Structure 1
Amino acid sequence: MRTFVAVADAGQFQEAAAGLSITPQAVSKRVAALEKELGVRLFIRDARGARLTIDGQAFLPHARTFLHSAERAVASVRAGRRALRVDVIGRQLSLTGLLRGFHLAHPEIELDVVTLYDSDTAIAAVRDGTIDATFRAVTMPGRSLPRGVEATSVFDEPLHLFTGPRHEFANAPALTPAQLAGRRIWMPGNLPGTEWAAYYDEVSRPPQRRHLDTGMDAAQALTGN
């Protein structure tokens, strides 16, 4: 594929060979192999060099896209050259929109978003440099962060309460955790030992912190130094 694009750009097999640091014979063999695989002729060779056939012209933009994608795939994992890699708990949460806004504001910065559901795995990935940052709801109680990893509050995400149409809170614009005390509430994803379970346990214990009194879920970004 790369050889085909090189010949298309150079217009000559010999010049393409020089740019690829291979022999013209090797270029001819690679192009012939690609034409055989596709079942069409890609070039017309004459005294002026190599001209794309109609099939070659149709194939060229797709070949360029393929090479660009391959280069990005390699760069995404190559040490020292990969894109900024950020972990989010889920791709349907507000933080994903926050990262989308960052990408629109800074299109020159390549951004890869990954999903590591386990908090310990995410923190270890930050520590090891596999990812550059992770967004988490809370730091697990009783656990200190590894050396070189820091937590910073960066975003307050509203928690939505769903009730029946006749419930006393159905038309309430906002609620505090204190107003929900003593009520039975289903919390999705509230599995024992998870950071979400730790968060809800923290909400239920006085004294309540300021960001909990607002009914907001404070997300922290964990980054490595």
Structure 2
Amino acid sequence: MPAGREALLAAARRAFASQGFDAADVRSIAAEANVSPNLVRVHFGNKAALWEACLDAIVSESRPVMEAIRRIATDPSRALAERLRETILRGGEFYAAHPDVRDFVTRSSTDMPERAERLNTLLLTPAYESSRELFAAGIEAGIIRSSHPALFFALVTAALNQPPAFPALLNRLAPEIDIASARDRMIETVVATLLHLSPVDPSDQPQQRSRA
């Protein structure tokens, strides 16, 4: 039973991300999870509660990276440029590990107002607040060239949140960029492009990032 619940959650996340709430079908979700449709009622009650459970799971997965970013943002022992760079890297690593989050958020943001508001309250606002003051400091220092931290947050999120097929597509455009390193190189390019650092600042050398 617990395995069936987890299988339903995984299949439902993919369905809601690719099709949206209205188009996602409970029977199709159950079939992909290889369980009986009755298990949706047993574990969740209905499709709306299944969507809520998917959102709760994404929030739980996001919480550690948001807490890590908050710690980075408020660490006075580290230079501002270093903290900004590390924040972007952490975000890129999260999206690489959770490729379905991008489409789930995109689809749900245009869904019924109640679900869009739940998404905003539980996920988007906490994610923004974890980095808002750090981005504001970056704007004040001239490292970030934006008029508002929310604009920069949205830009970074969009830049990092590439679809799973991104490495293969990039490799077709530039065969010299191998698929295995494509996502890391993309994240480093986002850092180098969006953060305006002094040439003498060691944080301006993304290719030197430790792989440890």
Question: TM-score over 0.5 for the alignment?
Answer: no
Q: TM-score range by the shorter chain?
A: under 0.3
Q: Which has the higher strand share?
A: 1
Q: What TM-score do you get using the length of structure 2 for normalisation? A: 0.25
Q: Which has the higher helix share?
A: 2
Structure number with greater Rg is 1
Q: What TM-score do you get using the length of structure 1 for normalisation? A: 0.24
